[in-house]
Amino acid sequence: MSQTPYSPPPPEPVPPVQTQGYIPQPKRSAWPTVIGIISTIFAAMGLICTPISLAINAFNPATQKVHEFMPEWYRTWELGSGLVGVAFAVLLLIAGISLMKRRPIGRSLHLIYAIIGTVMTVINAVAIVLLIGETSDMPDPMRYGMIGGGAGGVCLGLAYPIFLLIWFLRGPVAKEVKTWKAA
């Protein structure tokens, strides 16, 4: 009697996947939707909050008291920065929507936004330093609040543009975007 090792029976054939006319697609990455939504939310905040804050600053008695210590150029700078901020919000809104639609222009617009946003934040930081230098007669609590608000604004102002630069300049991201259809 010969000893043969046990071998299991062959597996049953697997029936083909029933697609019923549906052709399975490779899984799409979620990052365009996530970044597109974040950009759209930030843009909406800029489009809503900037005009409201400009209006409040124009009529708020507490803000008017602070403006008494500011140089004349500051009010013009404040209004100009607000208008530029609204324009950037429109750019970011278009970039976010384009990215959610997986259009290559979404990446380009985000990079443009990130570069210009970084430069504008640095320019605003210089303006704040100049402003602080010209407000020596301002009471210390107001001055310290302005310094803290300016420093916080610079940090927040740089966070998203720097993230966008790092994200969109990555090779795999650029490679994926090249596979999208232009509209």
Over residues 127-169, the pLDDT tens digits come to 888 888 887 787 888 778 878 888 888 899 999 999 999 999 9
Burial of residue 3, with CB atoms counted within 10 A of its CB: 0-12 exposed, 13-18 middle, 19 or more buried: exposed
**85-103 in b/e burial notation, b at 16+ Cβ within 10 A?**
bbebbebbbbbbbbbbebb
pLDDT exceeds cutoff 60 at 1: no
Query: Which DSSP state fits 9?
Result: P
Q: Which residue has the higher pLDDT, 183 or 80?
A: 80
One-letter identity of residue 121: T
pLDDT exceeds cutoff 70 at 183: no
Q: What percent of the chain has pLDDT over 70?
A: 91
* Placement of tokens 């009529």 in the chain: 59
* Mean pLDDT, range 41-59, rounded to an integer: 92
Structural contact between residues 91 and 35, judged by C-beta atoms closer than 8 angstroms? no
pLDDT exceeds cutoff 90 at 45: yes
Over residues 72-110, the pLDDT tens digits come to 888 888 889 999 999 999 999 999 999 999 999 999 999
Torsion-angle region of 102 (φ positive above 0: left; ψ -120 to 50: alpha; else: beta): left
For residue 173, give both structure tokens: 């991201």
pLDDT exceeds cutoff 90 at 117: yes
